[in-house]
Structure formats: C-alpha cells, structure tokens
Structure 1
Amino acid sequence: MKKTIIAAACLLFVVLSVAGCSTKSDANLDNFTVGMNDYLAKKGDLCLAKYSWPIDVTPQENAAGGRNALQMPVLEKVGLLRSTMTEVAQKDAETGARTGVMLTVKRYELNAAGKKYYVTKEMRSPTSDGSILVHQGDFCAAKLTLDKVVGWELSKSDKGAQEALVTYTYKIDAAPWTRDAEVQKVFPMVARIVTGAGTMQLQESFHKTDKGWVAANL
C-alpha cells in the first residue's frame, strides 16, 4: 500500500514538474490558443474594403459592371445605404488632376442602420506593388472568434527566427443582412466565411517572441 502511495506521489511530482517547465513560447495547444484569441480580438473583423464614404459610382463603372456598381445597390436594398444623384468633377485616371469635365454620379452614403456596421479603427490593406495602405475604419459584416486550434506547422525564417502556421476553425457573429441571397451573391467571400463557421479551416502565421507566439499581422 505504501509503495502504491509513494509511486502515485512520484508520478504527480513528475507531472507537476513537467507542467511547471512550460513557457509562453513553447509550441503547444495552449499557447497557440492564447495567440489566436489575441489575434482575433484585434483583427477578427470581417470587412468589405469600403473604407471611405460616401462612395460614388460613375456611369463608366455601371457600364463595366464594376464592383461598387454591383454591390452598392444591394446594400441599399437591404436598408444600409441611401443614394442620390450628384455632379462631381472628373479626374484624370493617371494623375488624379481634375479635367474640368463634370460627371453625374450615383452617390451612396451610410444611413443610420449602416453606420452601426462601420468599425472605426486602424485597418491595413496590401496594394499591387506590395506596400501597405493604412485606413482608419471599414464597413464590416461580422466578427470572428476562435472555435479551436486544429494544428500547426513550425518553420524558420531566412534569419533563423522560429515561425508557425496555425490552422484553426472559428465562430462568427454575423450581421443579419449577410444571410440575404443577393448580398451573398455580390459578396461571395463573405458568404463563404459566414456559412463556414465551425467547419471551415483558416490559417494564420505566427512568430515566436520571448512573450509568446504573436500573429505576424499584429
């Protein structure tokens, strides 16, 4: 009986000793869960890249079936925008200088309902030349939170720093209008992410620091 008690006590000591050696920088489920929760708390907004309002749709955009020409009328139809016809000075496509020609455009503005979905905080978007544009807000459709960390792959950067690609599933708090069929048609990625909650796997890159694993996009 004494041997059994001693053996159990020794096993408990070993378990506690191993647990006590764990650090925030270890590559394990708990640490990546902390990192993912921190990332999604700061960057988990699902937004539409509609940074600045009002948004004007020109006759040329309408004729070409441009993104705003297709999306703005749908957002107005679900009660988030109001539109008016107005005249603006045409600008040169390359220089941005005014040409002296006036254009009649359809101007879309956020109404009271739409303003509830405009999130005011720093947003970043990549450009075609690899640079990053910083915006002070965006029109957002949902907020993602962590469901669970599925797995991770470790690697090293060119400078030898340890990195990880974390795969996870998510929960979502989506605006009611994201369920509208026409909204889903003109915003297919939003539809895919909203309907994929709990099953769709996303990935985020992390780098190791002395304070733990930090998402590369923070």
Structure 2
Amino acid sequence: MNKTLISLACCATLCALLSACDGKTAANEKNFGITVSQYFEKKGEMCLDPVTWPVDVYETDLRQQKLYPDGVAGQMAALAAAGLARGEDVELPGTLAGSKVKARRYTMADAARPYLHGAAGQPPRLCWGRKSLDKVVRWADPAKAGDHEESSVIYTYRLSDVAPWARTPQVKEAFPVLGRSVDGERTQQEKLYVRSTPQGWQALGLNG
C-alpha cells in the first residue's frame, strides 16, 4: 500500500471518528441539551394536580391544618388566600340519619380560570409556569439496551411565565412540589432518562 492510499485510509478513519463525535447520536452536551429542550417543549408546563370542585373540607382536616399544611385544608386555604378559590361554611349530611356535620366548601374563583389548562380527554389543572433547560451538568455513559442505547442526563432548569401566586410562601408550603421547583430554579438538579434513535437522542416517555 503506497503513501497515498495510507493517507486516504487515515483520512477516512478520522472523518468517521469525527462524525461519531459530532453526529446527532453522539453522547455530548450539545445533543443532550437539545433532547432535554425538546422534552420541555412538550412537557414543560408546570401544573398542580387536578382538583374536582367543589372541595369539602371537614372539621377533622381543619384541626390538622397547622400540623399538615400540605393537606387538603392547607391547600384550599392557600388557593383561597391567592384569590383562586372561595370558601364558605356549610352543613352536610352526617353518617347518622338526620345528623349534620360542619365543613368548609371551596369553589373555584373566576381568577383561577386563566391558569386552567387541560389536554383533550384529561381533567384541567391549575398551571403556574413553564420549565426549560438551564444547562446540562453531566450524563451517564450510554449502555446497550436491546437495539438501542440508553443514558441519563443531569441538568438544571429555568422557569418562565411564573404566576405571582406560585411564589407566595403559603402556596409553596401547601404544594411542596411547586415550592421545590420555584426555589430550585437554576440550582436544583434533575434527571432525565434518554434513549438513542436514528434521529438522535430522545427522552424516554416523551410520547406518553
């Protein structure tokens, strides 16, 4: 083999290596950043769990509100304080015939409607902001899983369009997941599991 053929072979090998390092299926910060961003484009909206209105809060729950601020009594009180719910005292039928029990009934306020979002066929939820990628921190070495590879990506996130009520201490205490998300912006690390495809890396469960 002459020098020209050796040079061509080396060049082809180098190009293949560079392609593997820079291609869409390469495990690098750029590709995983694109994958996390695509995931948030579809699933980045941040919402509370669905609420079936009206919500009746009984005296037993009200008595435990200070002990369990993230219980139903604390959550409804927080939404009412934020102007998203209205509460009124009511009497409801008890377990014994003719008996009555006291409760506080909460209904959704008109101020909550702009935050009410729901996909077709799913109950609407109160949504308070959107999550997007801040930066990729690190990732696991890809491992073979059948006909593809899988990895996990650790990242930090940014928040946008955050509703003012979502930053209030009472709401953050009543809804701990929301509170951790708001307080953890740009610092809290989260993990996303991904898999390789011919088009590049994709978040597991993205189409779920």
Same fold (TM over 0.5): yes
Match of 1:107 among 91, 102, 105: 105
Encode CA deviations 1:81-128: one digit per residue, 9 max, x unaligned: 12234566779xxxxxxx998765433222222122222126xxxxxx
Q: Please give the residue correspondences for 1:68-147 in structure 2 after superposition, counting only pairs within 5 Å.
A: 68-86=72-90, 105-121=103-119, 135-147=122-134
TM-score, reference length from structure 1: 0.70
- Asked whether the equivalents of residues 62 and 69 of structure 1 are also in contact (C-alpha less than 8 Å), the reply is yes
Query: 1:184 matched to which residue of 2?
Result: 172
Normalized per residue, which structure has more strand? 1
Q: Structure 1 residues 215, 15: CA separation in 2 closer, same or farther (over 3 Å shift)?
A: same
Q: Structure 1 residues 89, 161: CA separation in 2 closer, same or farther (over 3 Å shift)?
A: farther
Encode CA deviations 1:100-157: one digit per residue, 9 max, x unaligned: 98765433222222122222126xxxxxxxxxxx943322222111111111113447
Paired letter, 1:206? V
**Higher deviation after alignment, 187-196 or 52-61:** 52-61
Q: Distance in 1 between matches of 2:46 and 2:134?
A: 16
Paired letter, 2:197? T
Instruction: Structure 2 unaligned segments of length 5 or more: list them.
Output: 1-10
Q: Distance in 1 between matches of 2:60 and 2:33?
A: 48
Paired letter, 1:58? Y
Query: 2:200 matched to which residue of 1?
Result: 212
Instruction: Structure 1 unaligned segments of length 5 or more: list them.
Output: 1-10, 92-98, 123-133
**Pairing 1:194–2:182 present:** yes
- Asked whether the equivalents of residues 50 and 123 of structure 2 are also in contact (C-alpha less than 8 Å), the reply is no
**Higher deviation after alignment, 24-33 or 156-165:** 156-165
TM-score, reference length from structure 2: 0.73
* Count of residue pairs brought into register by the alignment: 188
Q: Please give the residue correspondences for 1:15-54 in structure 2 after superposition, counting only pairs within 5 Å.
A: 18-19=18-19, 22-54=22-54
Q: Distance in 2 between matches of 1:164 and 1:90?
A: 54
Query: 2:5 matched to which residue of 1?
Result: none
Q: Distance in 2 between matches of 1:121 and 1:51?
A: 15
CA-atom RMSD in angstroms = 3.3
Paired letter, 2:73? A
**Pairing 1:153–2:140 present:** yes
